[in-house]
Amino acid sequence: MTARIIDGKAAAAAVLAEVKARVDAFRATKGRPPGLAVVLVGEDPASQVYVRNKGREAEAAGFRSEQHTLPVTTSQADLLALVARVNADPGIDGILVQLPLPKDIDAETVLTAIDPAKDVDGFHPVNVGLLGSGATDRALVPCTPAGSMILIESVLGPSLAGKHAVVVGRSNIVGKPIAQLLLQRDATVTIAHSRTADLAALCRQADVLVAAVGRPEMVRGDWVKPGAVVIDVGINRIPAPEKGEGKTRLVGDVAYAEAAAVASAITPVPGGVGPMTIALLMANTVTAAHLREGLARPRFGA
């Protein structure tokens, strides 16, 4: 079997088209566009690329978009003061503080200081709790998990009843929220991590296999059940001497060619989950704007 390649770029473009239509309607009703503030502390080059991409998409969608770039030496108090300022700005509906933060800043303190109604990352404890209790009418859901679900739905449809989903990775930003969303779609969910015994055998039981580990090509072809749907969340930059000295390339957490020979459908890296993350950030900003203004919640990727 050769797997169907799940086109994350095309799916992201479809979400962004829905976003744009919603932005136009929102602006016509409210007389202002949705607003997104992205905060970057420090000069991590990968983070700079992501933040720039987010700003570009926000402008393309017709948002008010602002970027705050603070030096790596910024104190936690100064960052909290900025968060308080954007919390209080009525024209800002979404706030994203790019992770990771410098080591002297406590990320949990900063994320908890964001107004949950503006928490378009879905990382605030209020949104984590709403997601965990199934209140998806009110929760802001993390972008990468929400985007991954749209890709899964594009292959398997809305119900995962009877399917075993294995999520490798238990981070608060990816693994745990993806597991919650899979559970809500009636999958039987197993969450694996670095202390899981016989990971390969467990993965071989998965009808839906989600890799969110951060280890290049760790999931091998013989870990994949024939016909499984494989979602590769990993983004790893590795040396690519074949492209020339000092060059790099992006790979996922899945050994793509091996897995694609066994799976029924698989996301590529790049061009899979990554573009969906950015599209869902825009969608969450539109959702936050609607909820803050008392308008009906829009749905994306339906």
Ligand X SMILES: NC(=O)C1=CN([C@@H]2O[C@H](COP(=O)(O)OP(=O)(O)OC[C@H]3O[C@@H](n4cnc5c(N)ncnc54)[C@H](OP(=O)(O)O)[C@@H]3O)[C@@H](O)[C@H]2O)C=CC1
Ligand Y SMILES: Nc1nc(=O)c2c([nH]1)NC[C@@H]1CN(c3ccc(C(=O)N[C@@H](CCC(=O)O)C(=O)O)cc3)C=[N+]21
Binding residues for NADP(+): 169-171, 235
Residues 6+ apart with CB under 8 A from 19: 61, 279, 282, 283, 286, 300
The partner in contact with residue 170, picked from ligand X, ligand Y, none with C-beta cut-offs of 5 to 8 angstroms by kind, is: ligand X
Chosen residue from 23, 139, 166, 212 binding ligand X by CB under 6 A: 212
The residues facing 232 across adjacent strands are 211
Q: Is 177 in the site for ligand Y (CB under 6 A)?
A: no
Per-residue contact track with ligand Y, 135 to 174, x per CB under 6 A? --------x-------------------------------
The DSSP code sequence of 86-150 is HHH-TT--EEEE-SSPPTTS-HHHHHHHS-GGGBTT--SHHHHHHHHTT-TTTPPPPHHHHHHHH
Chosen residue from 214, 220, 250, 295 binding ligand X by CB under 6 A: 214
The partner in contact with residue 57, picked from ligand Y, ligand X, none with C-beta cut-offs of 5 to 8 angstroms by kind, is: none
CA distances from residue 88 to 83, 91, 92, 114, 135 in whole angstroms, order as listed: 9, 9, 8, 10, 26
Q: Is 274 in the site for ligand Y (CB under 6 A)?
A: yes
- Strand 164-168 and strand 208-211: the pairing is parallel
Cα 191 from Cα 176, distance rounded (Å): 8
Q: Is 284 in the site for ligand X (CB under 6 A)?
A: no
Of 14-22, 96-104, 127-135, 145-153, which part binds ligand Y (CB under 6 A)? Answer: 96-104
The partner in contact with residue 285, picked from ligand X, ligand Y, none with C-beta cut-offs of 5 to 8 angstroms by kind, is: none
Chosen residue from 16, 19, 146, 168 binding ligand X by CB under 6 A: 168
> Which residue from 208, 182, 216, 211 is spatially nearest to 199, judged by alpha carbons?
211
Residue found under tokens 């709790």: 129
Residues 111/115/116/120 CA torsion (nearest 10 deg): -70
The partner in contact with residue 291, picked from ligand X, ligand Y, none with C-beta cut-offs of 5 to 8 angstroms by kind, is: none
Q: Is 16 in the site for ligand X (CB under 6 A)?
A: no
The partner in contact with residue 98, picked from ligand X, ligand Y, none with C-beta cut-offs of 5 to 8 angstroms by kind, is: ligand Y
Residues 6+ apart with CB under 8 A from 242: none
Q: In the range 33-62, which residues lie near ligand Y by CB under 6 A?
A: 49-50, 53
Cα 24 from Cα 62, distance rounded (Å): 8
Chosen residue from 98, 180, 284, 287 binding ligand Y by CB under 6 A: 98
Q: Is 283 in the site for ligand X (CB under 6 A)?
A: no
Contacting positions for ligand Y (CB under 6 A):
49-50, 53, 96-99, 121, 143, 235, 250, 269-271, 274-275, 277-278
Chain residues binding ligand X by CB under 6 A are 144, 168-171, 173-175, 193-196, 199, 212-215, 233-236, 253, 273-274, 277
